[in-house]
Amino acid sequence: MRDLPVHTLGYDSCVGTMTSVATSPKEQILVRFLDGASRGDGALVSSMLLQAGFLLNVSGDDGWTALMLAARSGHSEVVKVLLSKGCDTSLVNKSGQTAYDIARFWGHKHVAGLLSNSKPGDDHQFLDKVEAEAPENFFSRESLDRRCERRTDGKWLEAKRRSPDSVYILFFNLNPLVTSEAEELGVGGPDIKLRRLRVQSVQDLLAKPGTTLVFLGVEKQVSPPPPSSPGDEDGLTVWFALNTDEDPTEHLKLSGSSCFFVKPPMPGLFALSEEEAGVIAQARSVLAWHSRYSFCPTCGSKTRVDEGGYKRTCMKEDCPSHHGVHNTCYPRVDPVVIMLVIHPGGNQCLLGRKKTFPPGIFSCLAGFIEPGEGIEDAVRREVEEESGIKVGPVRYISSQPWPMPSSLMIGCLAVAVSTEIKVDGNEIEEARWFTRQQVIDVLRRGSEPAFVLPPRQAIAHQLVKHWIGMNANL
Ligand SMILES: NC(=O)C1=CN([C@@H]2O[C@H](COP(=O)(O)OP(=O)(O)OC[C@H]3O[C@@H](n4cnc5c(N)ncnc54)[C@H](O)[C@@H]3O)[C@@H](O)[C@H]2O)C=CC1
Ligand SMILES: [Mg+2]
Ligand SMILES: [Mg+2]
Ligand SMILES: [Mg+2]
Ligand SMILES: [Zn+2]
């Protein structure tokens, strides 16, 4: 591979701008060619190749060829042109990635397909590694088996509700009851633990009209256990969640314990274990839905709780909600995009500050998905609204249930195609490009970090970490 020193020109491999004058005509031609490939200008790429065939496999900054640049932005027409001229698909950039790796990474399946057909047998360990290492987010662990089919089995639910083996977790105004007693907590484990109650402790509360009960699921079994109680034939341990809007302390029959109700989101719930945080994500969102949707949203009538707490049925016989699928009858989830925007040059990321953040904190931009909008478009719209930056390719990384009250955070990486920041000044008071090194210093808690990241339990933290863990210049 022939490397020309185009980095001396300040060539920006994604937006294709030149920040200083090229030093030789040959270098100028290369800059123009790579710029055309990254913008998807197939006609320019074709005509330049006719006149200067040497351009086909030449690389610019950090070893990026025209094929890699076109692959990063999903420009299949340019990729086809380059392949038809016999370009070398096995070349790697200075981070060791082929054009195929880059296309796969950014989710351009059609381009990856074109490239893999042209080169079967290629080894793409880098991408497999990145995918395997997608973070597990706090609140996202499925600790219980939901057993959705049991929600309509009233007889089974009632037997489990009375069973001495069933576990109840209690919420007061959506704040869960926890304990911080040392004997309940393992060494090096979480700081607080959910207080698991039995039916005899919550009997009085269950009888009160303001109490909501939700069937969460059963404890996961490695192998079927023997029946644990007489009459309890399947031996499954069921978990229920209870919420009450009156202080339940006097109704609780707890022996000598120091329990308290913990308020979300921080730092309270973040002190739970991953397993219990997963249970809370499910329980709190469903209970919050009950507390906000007591009446039928379609006709305003009273509703009845059904299906183990997973449905509210309108009591008015001729309500339209009895026909068809009515999303007013089932628990709600609000999708939110949250994205780490990467500078076109690959080595900086965009983080912003909401006015409400504590001093020094910078985080990923985020926003609610609007009706009729896809994930990628929501990412592009929210980033432009909040920071003025335009976004090109978007890649999904991982998601996080966020039970305050019921969001699903959809975590993405996004490549910027412009660099000038102009914050909205309303929601976001400041946004900045931070270098990889600045971010690494923050993650390693260096002596003078440039900013403060949200804690590891926030998906924003995990997205930033994921980017740092990837090879540079994707
Ligand atoms: N887990 C994490 O790392 C992070 C989580 N978040 C969460 O993401 C959510 C959305 O982020 P924002 O920047 O606030 O969104 P945003 O940028 O869309 O702005 C919020 C505003 O959008 C409007 N809005 C539109 N649809 C809405 C809906 N379905 N529910 C509520 N408001 C709606 C409201 O006026 C609200 O004030 C927040 O709830 C926040 O708690 C935000 C950043 C990090
Ligand atoms: Mg926002
Ligand atoms: Mg916004
Ligand atoms: Mg918004
Ligand atoms: Zn109704």
358 and 429 in a single domain? The answer is yes
Return the minimum-mean-pLDDT range out of 119-133, 325-339, 451-465.
119-133
Q: What is the pLDDT of residue 226?
A: 61
154 and 280 in a single domain? The answer is yes
Q: What is the pLDDT of residue 97?
A: 82
Residue 275, domain member (yes or no): yes
* C-alpha torsion angle, residues 193, 198, 201, 202 (rounded to 10): 90
Q: What is the pLDDT of residue 147?
A: 96
Total count of domains within the chain: 3
Residue 242, domain member (yes or no): yes
Query: Is pLDDT at 474 greater than 80 in this prediction?
Result: no
Q: What is the pLDDT of residue 92?
A: 85
Nearest CA residue ID for atom 12, ligand 1: 367
Query: Is pLDDT at 12 greater than 80 in this prediction?
Result: no
What residues are in contact with ligand 1 under a 6 Å CB criterion?
Answer: 334, 336, 338, 363, 366-368, 382, 400, 402, 407, 409, 427, 454, 458-460
- pLDDT above 70 as % of the chain: 85
* C-alpha torsion angle, residues 433, 470, 403, 160 (rounded to 10): 180
Query: Is pLDDT at 8 greater than 60 in this prediction?
Result: no
Nearest CA residue ID for atom 17, ligand 1: 367
Cα–ligand 5 centroid distance for 313 (angstroms): 8
Query: Is pLDDT at 473 greater than 60 in this prediction?
Result: no
408-462: pLDDT as tens digits: 999 999 999 999 999 998 999 999 999 988 998 898 877 788 999 999 999 999 9
Pull the structure tokens for residue 453: 């990241």
CA pair distance 269, 262, nearest whole angstrom: 7
Residue 129, domain member (yes or no): no
User: If we measure between CA atoms, which residue out of 143, 135, 197 comes closest to residue 170?
Assistant: 197
Three-class SS of the chain: CCECCHHHHCCCCCCCCCCCCCCCHHHHHHHHHHHHHHHCCHHHHHHHHHHCHHHHHCECHHHCEHHHHHHHCCCHHHHHHHHHCCCCCCCCCCCCCCHHHHHHHCCCHHHHHHHHHHCCCCCCHHHHHHHHCCCCCCCCCCCEECCHHHHHCHHHHHHHHHCCCCEEEEEECCEEEEECCHHHCCCCCCCCEECCECHHHHHHHHHCCCCEEEEEEEECCCCCCCCCECCECCCCCEEEEEEECCCCHHHCCCCCCCEEECCCCCCCHHHCCHHHHHHHHHHHHHHHHHHHCCECCCCCCEEEEEHHHCEEEECCCCCHHHCCCCCCCCCCCEEEEEEEEECCCCCEEEEEEECCCCCCECECEEEECCCCCCHHHHHHHHHHHHHCCCEEEEEEEEEEEECCCCEEEEEEEEEECCCCCCCCCCCEEEEEEEEHHHHHHHHCCCCCCCCECCCCCCHHHHHHHHHHHCCCCC
Mean pLDDT across 219-246: 80
Nearest CA residue ID for atom 37, ligand 1: 427
Instruction: Indicate which CATH number applies to the domain containing 31.
Output: 1.25.40.20
Mean pLDDT across 374-378: 98
- pLDDT above 90 as % of the chain: 64
Mean pLDDT across 350-374: 96
Q: Which of ligand 1's atoms lies nearest the C-alpha of 385? A: 17
Residue 328, domain member (yes or no): no
Residue 308, domain member (yes or no): no
Residue 321, domain member (yes or no): no
Q: What is the pLDDT of residue 113?
A: 86
Mean pLDDT across 130-152: 84
285 and 151 in a single domain? The answer is yes
So what's the ipTM on this one? 0.95
Residue 128, domain member (yes or no): no
CA pair distance 399, 281, nearest whole angstrom: 13
88 and 170 in a single domain? The answer is no
* Residue ending a domain, choose from 242, 272, 293: 293
Structural domain harbouring 370: 334-469
237-270: pLDDT as tens digits: 999 999 999 988 877 766 656 888 998 766 789 9
Cα–ligand 1 centroid distance for 336 (angstroms): 7
Give the list of residues 6+ apart from residue 294 with CB closer than 8 angstroms, or none.
303
Instruction: Indicate which CATH number applies to the domain containing 427.
Output: 3.90.79.10
**279 neighbors 144 (Cβ within 8 angstroms):** yes
Return the minimum-mean-pLDDT range out of 115-129, 315-329, 399-413.
115-129
Cα–ligand 1 centroid distance for 155 (angstroms): 40
* Residue ending a domain, choose from 117, 135, 168: 117
111 and 167 in a single domain? The answer is no
CA pair distance 176, 165, nearest whole angstrom: 20
Query: Is pLDDT at 304 greater than 90 in this prediction?
Result: yes
Q: Is 448 exposed, middle or buried (0-12, 13-18, 19+ CB in 10 A)?
A: exposed
Q: Which of ligand 1's atoms lies nearest the C-alpha of 460? A: 3
* Residue ending a domain, choose from 271, 293, 315: 293
355 and 457 in a single domain? The answer is yes
Instruction: Give residues whose Cβ lies within 5 Å of ion ligand 4.
Output: 367-368
161 and 113 in a single domain? The answer is no
Query: Is pLDDT at 21 greater than 70 in this prediction?
Result: no
Return the minimum-mean-pLDDT range out of 31-45, 207-221, 366-380, 438-452.
438-452
450 and 377 in a single domain? The answer is yes
Query: Is pLDDT at 360 greater than 80 in this prediction?
Result: yes
249 and 338 in a single domain? The answer is no
pLDDT-derived band at 184, boundaries 50, 70, 90: low
Instruction: Indicate which CATH number applies to the domain containing 279.
Output: 3.90.79
212 and 171 in a single domain? The answer is yes
149 and 275 in a single domain? The answer is yes
Q: Which ligand is nearest to the CA of 385?
A: 3
Average per-residue pLDDT for the chain: 86
148 and 87 in a single domain? The answer is no
Pull the structure tokens for residue 128: 């497999």
Residue 347, domain member (yes or no): yes
pTM beyond 0.90 = no
